[in-house]
A and B are shown apart, each in its own frame.
Chain A
Amino acid sequence: MSLYEEVKVHGYEEFCKAVSDRKGKDIFAYFSGDKDADGNSWCPDCVKAEPIVRGEISHLPEGSVFIYCQVGQRDYWKNPNNDFKKTLKLSGVPTLLRYGTPQKLVEEECFKANLVRMMFTED
């Protein structure tokens, strides 16, 4: 009985498809470095932020979409020309954003539960 839809994607193309399939919806996206087979990401900040972001997930607005996007391996991410950096203008991981708006929390900002909750609950 969840208020929101969670979508898990991997890579830029899957992300874009997930977004275009849900036009008109309030889309929140969390970008993280890829996790290995044991479920550990190469990005230490992502490891730290994920439980905090997930801790606030119950505050997502009704009918919204939460896209959990693994961006790729460390090498892919370090390349300044990767699609996430070039087209989506992401500057770091983790990034939590509200698609189509300037609302964005980057890196350490994602460690702050009150900021995450603010993004999920305010207009």
Chain B
Amino acid sequence: MAAFFKSRHRWKRTSCFPILTRNLTGKYECDMVVIGGGSGGLACSKEAAVLGQKVAVLDYVEPSAKGTKWGLGGTCVNVGCIPKKLMHQAALLGTAVKDARKYGWKIKDPVSHDWETMAEAVQNHVRSLNWGHRVQLQDKKVKYLNVKGSLVDEHTVRGMTKSGKEFFLTAKNIVIATGGRPKYPTHIPGAMEHGITSDDIFWLKEAPGKTLVVGASYVALECAGFLTGIGQDTTVMVRSIALRGFDQQMAGLVTDYMQAYGTRFAWGCVPQRVDKLPSGALQVTWANTHTGREEMDSFDSVLWAMGRAPETKALGLDKVGVELNRDTGKIVVGADESTSVSSIYAFGDIGEGRPELTPTAIKAGRLLARRLAGQSTQLMNYDNVATTVFTPLEYGCVGLSEEEAVGRYGQDSIEVYHAFYKPLEFTVAERDASQCYIKVVCERGGEQRILGLHFTGPNAGEVTQGFAMGLRCGATLSHLKETVGIHPTCAEELTKVSITKRSGLDATTTGC
């Protein structure tokens, strides 16, 4: 950036491209300016550039309340999917080490975990991804600006550097892919001063110690899960239900496993205040809605995981007339990711009603780039998107939850096939498989099309991915049952489902 600014003295409406070239549109400096350099923004801008568009990406990370900041790549790369999965793996390895003894490995007790070693390795990998994205943008001739972007009008973006310098960029189209940030419960005294969020957890210099995770989102459960796995005393405080929006029977299996695994759960509890004790520990006071009493305990860390809010405040959207959803604050978008302003598009986590997932943001971004370059009319298909919750017992799913299927089709029109199974690897390790379970929700009549598929067990993400293709192809129950399983695996149990919930029969599998 320094070299880029050295030769300019005054900044008003001026091209950010040192070489003056006539661009495709003639009157705008860029064909596309993307605000947000995360999963969606990067995919969109790179695709557009490859298709010959003149593109600029503005990425800026507002430091968290605790001061944590990170490089190019957005939430997924820096404070989401990537570090999460690596720390989840660290925790799984801890369990594996214990299992290993049963398999004959001579491993001395006690086995301990060093946060600093894990954190440094994870952070180094994240930094290599920041660099990889930087190289890709440069290589594909996408102009990258580490500045805070906002809208001036429907074709003009303002960039503000860290040092407060401002400049303007005009574009035929503006794409907003700024994503979201964790919410702080600002109404709880001490929450912001003393608590951290997922923005901070992966960048801590030391282990968080005895931790209270407030919330029961997948972020809360995944964090609590790996913290427990690496040996931190962890409690999850849940106001009402866990994994809202997910199949609730499956959510129960996930949390049951976590409780058996060592995570404490404070159900029906609502935090009221956080105070710092002279020792440095945090005292949390909460209301227990079951007992009606006020309770308190002290923790080393408090992690707020109560949901995420869209990054729209500083964008100047109201000034330009971009419509937001009144409840969520997200941008109202059409099926083609358009907003209420014709030259402005929005997608990824910032879009109202969109899944908050990296793969959908990437795909939607690429399709948008193709449409804007006039190369395609294909819209993003958001149906039957598979996901996995990487809790200690992983949960993979694609399609509708049982509740959604009942709501849409009626109880009498659906058939639910299910089975409890035991992963072979658990046998020698003497591990409890009570929550390892499969559920296939189908239409009851006709071809019995599969509406939803749910799996708890090891490697749930790997297991579910292939079946997602089946749903994309309109798989029916017969397709599933005619598929020969791979033996011995957990995934094969999906091809063997036969007991229905309706029959009331015991759904435990019996082995070969």
Q: Do A and B come from one complex?
A: yes
Q: Do B3 and A115 touch (CB < 8 A)?
A: no
Contacts A102-B124, A121-B3; is A114 near B138 (CB within 8 Å)? yes
* A103 sits at the interface (CB 8 A): yes
0/1 per residue, B1-36, Cβ < 8 Å to A? 111000000000000000000000000000000000
* B409 sits at the interface (CB 8 A): no
* A21 sits at the interface (CB 8 A): no
Q: Do B135 and A109 touch (CB < 8 A)?
A: yes
Contacts of B1 in A (CB 8 A): 122-123
Q: Do B131 and A115 touch (CB < 8 A)?
A: no
Q: How far is the CB of A102 from chain B (nearest CB, A)?
A: 4
Q: Do B135 and A105 touch (CB < 8 A)?
A: yes
Q: Which of A103, A104, A109, A121 contacts B2 (CB 8 A)?
A: A121
* A118 sits at the interface (CB 8 A): yes
Contacts of B239 in A (CB 8 A): none
Q: How far is the CB of B140 from chain A (nearest CB, A)?
A: 11
Q: Do B124 and A115 touch (CB < 8 A)?
A: no
Q: Do A101 and B135 touch (CB < 8 A)?
A: no
Within 8 A of B (CB), among A83-123: 101-105, 109, 112, 114-115, 118, 121-123
Contacts of B2 in A (CB 8 A): 121
* A10 sits at the interface (CB 8 A): no
Closest Cβ neighbor of A104 among chain B residues:
B131
Q: How far is the CA of A3 from the CA of B41 in the complex (A)?
A: 37
Q: How far is the CA of A25 from the CA of B130 in the complex (A)?
A: 22
Q: How far is the CA of A121 from the CA of B1 in the complex (A)?
A: 8
Contacts A112-B139, A114-B138, A115-B135; is A102 near B3 (CB within 8 Å)? no
Label chain A's interface by main secondary structure.
mixed
Q: How far is the CA of A59 from the CA of B2 in the complex (A)?
A: 11
The number of A-B residue pairs with CB atoms under 8 Å apart is: 27
Contacts of B181 in A (CB 8 A): none
Label chain B's interface by main secondary structure.
helix
Closest Cβ neighbor of B127 among chain A residues:
A102
Q: How far is the CB of B83 from chain A (nearest CB, A)?
A: 15
* B489 sits at the interface (CB 8 A): no
Give the interface residue-count category, chain A.
Answer: 10 to 19
* B483 sits at the interface (CB 8 A): no
Closest Cβ neighbor of A117 among chain B residues:
B3
Q: Which of A59, A102, A112, A121 contacts B131 (CB 8 A)?
A: A102
Contacts of B128 in A (CB 8 A): 102
0/1 per residue, B84-124, Cβ < 8 Å to A? 00000000000000000000000000000000000000001
Most chain A CB within a 10 A radius of its CB, from B1, B124, B128, B131: B131
Q: How far is the CA of A118 from the CA of B141 in the complex (A)?
A: 12
Q: Do B124 and A118 touch (CB < 8 A)?
A: no
Q: How far is the CB of A21 from chain B (nearest CB, A)?
A: 24
Within 8 A of A (CB), among B128-178: 128, 130-131, 134-135, 138-139
Contacts of B127 in A (CB 8 A): 101-102
0/1 per residue, B400-424, Cβ < 8 Å to A? 0000000000000000000000000
Q: How far is the CA of A114 from the CA of B143 in the complex (A)?
A: 12
Q: How far is the CA of A103 from the CA of B71 in the complex (A)?
A: 13
Subset of 27 A-B contacts with CB under 8 Å: A59-B3, A101-B127, A101-B131, A102-B124, A102-B127, A102-B128, A102-B130, A102-B131, A103-B131, A104-B131, A105-B135, A109-B135, A109-B139, A112-B139, A114-B138, A114-B139, A115-B135, A115-B138, A115-B139, A118-B134, A118-B135, A118-B138, A121-B2, A121-B3, A122-B1, A122-B134, A123-B1
Known: A105-B135, A121-B3. 10 other contacts (CB 8 A): A59-B3, A102-B128, A109-B135, A109-B139, A114-B138, A115-B138, A118-B134, A118-B138, A121-B2, A123-B1
Chain A positions within 8 Å of B, measured between CB atoms, are 59, 101-105, 109, 112, 114-115, 118, 121-123
Chain B positions within 8 Å of A, measured between CB atoms, are 1-3, 124, 127-128, 130-131, 134-135, 138-139
Which 4 A-B residue pairings sit nearest by Cβ, starting from the closest? A102-B128, A102-B127, A121-B3, A102-B131
